[in-house]
Amino acid sequence: MKKVKKAIIPAAGYGTRNLPITKVLPKEMFPIGGKPAIQYIVEEAVDAGIEEILIVVSRNKNMILDYFDRSLELETFLEKTNKLHLLEKASIPNIHIQYIRQPYAEGLGDAVALGKLFVKNEPFAVILPDDIFLCRRKVALAQLIETYNEHHSSVIGLQKVKPELLKNYGVIKGEKLKGRQYQITDIVEKPENSPPSDLAVTGRYIFNPTIFTYLEKLEQGVGGEIQLTDAIKDLLAEENCIGMCIAGDRYDIGSDTDYLKLMNRVKKKYSN
């Protein structure tokens, strides 16, 4: 069986909840303890054994490309000024990163569909850069990959969410398999009434390449967007799909409250 070695990071959205700052600063570049959010995501991917990353960007996200590029000018400056100890901070992650542009932010499903040629015929991860997980033992993606290696079917990262907040998420219906694993039987995007459970889809997924068949057939869903959740719903009619409740604390940096909580938590870690 093929191992999960590739990951897609969709980062082409407008970040409308965080306007006006997102007019000039992509949400994925929001600083958390001196590092941008997307660096946490790339480090999580590396920790989980990912070898190749595709970042989906858009016109105003060039800052992400610059960030993961070497700055020879800066390196020379640090060498000349005897600040060699800072070279590591100026270095780039040891992983292959490539980029593709999404011309219109038509939705997460559309962004993931752009990764078809990158993925080829392999299982792959999708990591949303606005969901930061702080986990005690294994990083969130490694937990999903472990589950994938057991079942070889798609795995969706879940977390329990307060009932009043479920309307903001994709919510699954499922039966408990064992431990943190669920057999998913249905999925609903942003349920207004009677959500099928309190298990919400979070920003971590593992897919087999068959997901592209479902993505290609999608039409606009909730909010006029091409919804990844709709492709998962179609997949459920044909294939097995496992839900995995991630052990760890999740912070949605698109939410001001979560962002502040995360900043405080990281600050505490640094000052200890």
Spatial separation of the C-alpha atoms in residues 76 and 181, rounded to whole Å: 50
Site for ligand UTP in 80-109 (CB under 6 A): 102, 105-108
CA distance 110 to 107: 5
Question: Which residues inside 200-239 make contact with ligand UTP, applying CB under 6 A?
Answer: none
Which residue's Cβ has the minimum distance to ligand UTP?
13
Other CB atoms within 10 Å distance of the CB of residue 185: 13
Q: Least CB distance from residue 47 to ligand UTP, whole Å?
A: 20
Site string for ligand UTP, 125-144 (x = CB under 6 A): ---xxx--------------
Stated as kind and residue range, the H or E segment containing 38 is: helix 37-47
5 interacts with ligand UTP by CB under 6 A: no
Does residue 157 bind ligand UTP (CB under 6 A)? no
Nearest distance in Å: CB 107, ligand UTP: 5
Q: Which residues, including other chains, have CB under 8 Å from residue 265's CB and lie 6 or more apart? A: 134, 249
Task: Name the residue nearer to ligand UTP (CB basis): 154 or 202.
Answer: 202
Q: Would you say 42 and 97 are in contact if contact means Cβ atoms under 8 Å apart?
A: yes
Q: Is 15 in the site for ligand UTP (CB under 6 A)?
A: yes
Hey, what are 242's tokens?
Answer: 């496992």
Q: Which residue type does 112 have?
A: V
Binding site for ligand UTP (CB under 6 A): 10-17, 27-28, 56, 102, 105-108, 110-111, 128-130, 254
